């Protein structure tokens, strides 16, 4: 297996990305090859400074950077020698099995949809976040930002995508799927959630358990929690904010430590034909390491193939 890593993406590039790759390599099986995309000399010198042999990695020269200020739609075509653009070229030509980056999220989504292409039948690809539950499990929340406005059929597809992800990558048998709403009753919510609830309740493709309220998000009630990207992003940022506030006040708690984004690394773009993993822009070396390890799990699970089969 070959995993491509954008060395130039993120706030702490290239150092954090090189260090993360080195740490990940020690934890990955020996038959996994890490393909590092960025400035060749910069990567080589960074590896040498960590007492690593550059020959143990494949280095692809891609010196240009798509910054957080670049326009996502135009950036890939305007910067063909950027690490993100080259990464998608390699993935689309099947020269790598997964591509991971902590760089411009918009550019990663655009590249995933237009360079790798959406799986036929999927209306809108989406991204997820793992929410730690108090019982030690985790819930997958989707969407968390890529689709701010959704229709009921899109939310239904998120439920299907999330269930496949939970089963294939996290090994959850028959995942319990819930819809995030303002009440547990079937009639609760706005027109969107009412229509989505009916679609999910009438489906045999998912194990739908009904509505879930915001106060129950972290109780382990559902394996998959569905919402539009606007709502999901607010939930995600609030969870990150609570963790940050606790740390600033010197509060250490084993459960709340699981809110640390570093533990999860990144999320796959669900609904596209290849394995594209997006990490947090502020990722340090440990978050990058976990992003790479998750990329390996996603590629090994055959997630994209399972989604394609489900929607064919």
Higher pLDDT, 300 or 68: 300
Task: Assign 175 to helix, strand or coil.
Answer: coil
Here the tokens at position 187 are: 């009639």
Helical residues (DSSP H) of the chain, grouped into ranges: 15-27, 40-49, 72-78, 83-92, 105-111, 152-168, 191-201, 229-248, 285-301, 303-311
> Is the pLDDT assigned to residue 264 strictly greater than 90?
no
Is 90 exceeded by the pLDDT of residue 58? yes
Place 261 in a pLDDT band, splitting at 50, 70 and 90: confident
Q: Backbone phi, then psi, for 33, in 5-degree steps?
A: -105, 125
Per-residue confidence band for 312, with pLDDT thresholds at 50, 70 and 90:
confident
On whether the pTM is more than 0.85, the answer is yes
List pLDDT tens digits, range 148-174: 999 999 999 999 999 999 999 999 999
DSSP code of residue 71: -
What is the pLDDT, as a whole number, of residue 270?
97
Token duo for residue 309: 């089969």
| Number of neighbouring beta carbons within 10 Å of residue 32 | 19
Confidence tier at 68 by pLDDT (50, 70, 90): confident
Measured from the Cβ of residue 104, the count of other Cβ atoms closer than 10 Å reads 27
CATH of domain 128-257: 3.40.718.10
Q: For residue 116, give both structure tokens.
A: 């790798």
Q: Which residues have a Cβ under 8 Å from the Cβ of 131 and sit 6 or more positions away?
A: 138, 139, 140, 141, 217, 218, 225, 235, 239
Distance CA 155, CA 225 (A): 10
pLDDT of 263:
84
| CATH architecture, domain defined by 2-122+271-311 | 3-Layer(aba) Sandwich (3.40)
How far is Cα 168 from Cα 31, in angstroms, rounded to an integer?
Answer: 21
3-class state of residue 73 by DSSP: helix
Radius of gyration of the chain (CA): 19
Range 126-143 average pLDDT: 95
Looking only at the bridges linking them, the beta strands covering 276-279 and 266-268 are antiparallel
In tens, the pLDDT along 214-226 reads 999 999 999 999 9
What pLDDT, on a 0 to 100 scale, did the predictor assign at position 73? 86
Relative orientation angle of helices 152-168 and 191-201, to the nearest 10 degrees? 50
The tokens describing 136, both together, are 């030690």
Q: Give yes or no for a contact between 21 and 57, defined as CB atoms under 8 angstroms apart.
A: yes
Q: In the chain, list all ranges with CATH 3.40.718.10.
A: 2-122+271-311, 128-257
Q: What CA–CA distance (Å, rounded) separates 38 from 65?
A: 8
Identify the pLDDT of residue 16. Answer: 96
Structure tokens at 104: 């411009």
**Is residue 170 a contact partner of residue 138, using CB atoms and an 8 Å limit?**
yes
As a whole number, the mean pLDDT across the chain is 95
For residues 114-139, b (16+ Cβ closer than 10 Å) or e, as one string?
ebbebbeebbbbbbbbbbbbeeeebb
pLDDT of 72: 86
3-state SS of 93-119?
CCCCCEEEECCCHHHHHHHHHHHHHEC
pLDDT digits (tens, 9 = 90+) for 15-35: 999 999 999 999 999 999 999
């Amino acid at each position: 297996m070959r995993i491509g890593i954008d060395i130039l993406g993120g706030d702490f590039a290239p150092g954090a990305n090189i260090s993360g790759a080195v740490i990940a390599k020690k934890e990955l099986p020996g038959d996994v090859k890490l393909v590092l995309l960025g400035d060749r000399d910069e990567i080589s010198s960074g590896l040498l400074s960590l007492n690593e042999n550059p020959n143990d990695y494949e280095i692809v020269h891609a010196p240009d950077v798509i910054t957080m200020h670049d326009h996502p739609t135009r950036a890939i075509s305007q910067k063909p020698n950027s690490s993100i653009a080259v990464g998608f070229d390699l993935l689309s030509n099947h020269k790598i099995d997964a591509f991971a980056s902590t760089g411009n999220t918009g550019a990663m989504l655009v590249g995933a949809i237009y360079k790798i292409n959406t799986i036929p039948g999927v209306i809108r690809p989406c991204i997820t976040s793992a929410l730690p539950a108090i019982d030690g499990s985790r819930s997958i929340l989707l969407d968390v930002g890529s689709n701010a406005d959704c229709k009921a059929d899109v939310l239904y597809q998120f439920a299907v995508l999330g269930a496949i992800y939970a089963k294939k990558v996290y090994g959850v048998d028959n995942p319990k799927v819930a819809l995030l709403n303002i009440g547990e009753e079937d009639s609760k919510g706005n027109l969107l959630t009412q229509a989505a609830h009916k679609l999910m309740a009438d489906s045999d493709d998912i194990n739908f358990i009904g509505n879930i309220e915001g106060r129950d998000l972290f109780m382990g009630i559902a394996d998959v929690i569905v919402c539009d990207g606007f709502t999901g992003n607010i939930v995600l940022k609030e969870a990150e904010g609570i963790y940050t506030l606790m740390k600033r006040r010197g509060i250490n708690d084993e459960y709340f430590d699981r809110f640390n984004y570093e533990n999860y690394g990144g999320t796959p773009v669900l609904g596209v034909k290849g394995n594209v993993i997006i990490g947090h822009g502020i990722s340090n070396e440990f978050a990058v390491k976990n992003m790479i390890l998750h990329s390996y799990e996603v590629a090994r699970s055959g997630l994209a193939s399972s989604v394609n089969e489900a929607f064919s």
